[in-house]
Amino acid sequence: MPKMEHCTYTGKEISIHEALKIKADRGQSSSKLGFLCIGCNCLVRAHRSLVKGGPKPHFEHFKINPDCPLF
Ligand SMILES: [Zn+2]
Give the CA distances from residue 17 to residues 7, 41, 67, in Å, rounded to whole numbers and listed in that order. 11, 19, 26
pLDDT confidence of 2, banded at 50, 70, 90? low
- The rounded Å distance from CA 60 to ligand 1 centre is 8
- The rounded Å distance from CA 67 to ligand 1 centre is 8
Residue 16 is predicted with a pLDDT of: 97
Residue 55 is predicted with a pLDDT of: 81
66 located within any domain = no
> pTM of the entire structure?
0.86
Q: Please give the tally of structural domains in the chain.
A: 1
Residue 1 is predicted with a pLDDT of: 52
- The rounded Å distance from CA 21 to ligand 1 centre is 21
- Regarding beta strands 58-61 and 6-9, do their DSSP bridges make them parallel or antiparallel, or are they unpaired? unpaired
1 located within any domain = no
- The rounded Å distance from CA 50 to ligand 1 centre is 23
- The rounded Å distance from CA 5 to ligand 1 centre is 12
Instruction: Tell me what the mean pLDDT of segment 40-44 comes to.
Output: 96
Give the range of the structural domain holding residue 31, as residue numbers without chain letter: 6-61
Q: What does pLDDT average to over the chain?
A: 92
Residue 60 is predicted with a pLDDT of: 94
